[in-house]
Structure 1
Amino acid sequence: MARAVEPPQLDEIRTWGATTDIVSAGTVFGLGRTKSYELAQSDEFPVRVIRIGKAYRVVVADLIAFLEGADLLTAAPAEVA
């Protein structure tokens, strides 16, 4: 039986750097390795995924914004006066 992995806390995620791997990002959403890759490959991962060669990277700032409740897809752009 697979053991449950505790999702990382927001304070820990803030220490990750600019990007993280798809598996680590998936743990934030309670996803395992296989499901994380499936969602990334089908462009359905909950936040932006960057493909670099064969690697999938996730922008940590997007994870933080998602967890803090910011809607990345519908946020209005800032108005320039």
Structure 2
Amino acid sequence: MTELNEDGRGLTRAELFALPVTVDVATAARALGLGRSTGYELVRRGKFPCRVLQVGSSYRVPTAELMRILGLAPEDTSAA
């Protein structure tokens, strides 16, 4: 997992555990260490590394799936 932050790249463990139930593609891409454009391109091609839900004209990524891809479980919150 990429744990950077202050300069707008990556998300810290605390930021990840503070995410809502779903996030936009840009936030999910950032958590995965990808750029916004790359994230949307992967969604467009059906290659984003976790499930993406289309809600109207926008896309949402379930945070639980994002955490699974990053190897984080809900019980890991004590480490945040």
- Measured against the shorter chain, the TM-score band is 0.7 to 0.9
Identity of aligned residues (%): 34
RMSD: 1.8
Unaligned runs of 5+ in 2: 1-6, 74-80
Provide the C-alpha distance between the structure 1 equivalents of 2:72 and 2:47, rounded to a whole number of angstroms: 18
Structure 1 residue ranges, 4+ long, deviating more than 2 angstroms after superposition: none
Q: How does 1:1-81 map to 2 (within 5 A)?
A: 5-68=8-71
**TM-score under structure 2 length normalisation:** 0.73
Question: What does the per-residue CA deviation read over 1:18-72, in whole Å, with 9 as the maximum and x for residues that have no partner?
Answer: 00000010011221121111101111001111011110100000111111178xx
Structure with higher helix content = 2
The aligned length equals 67
**TM-score under structure 1 length normalisation:** 0.72
Greater gyration radius: 1
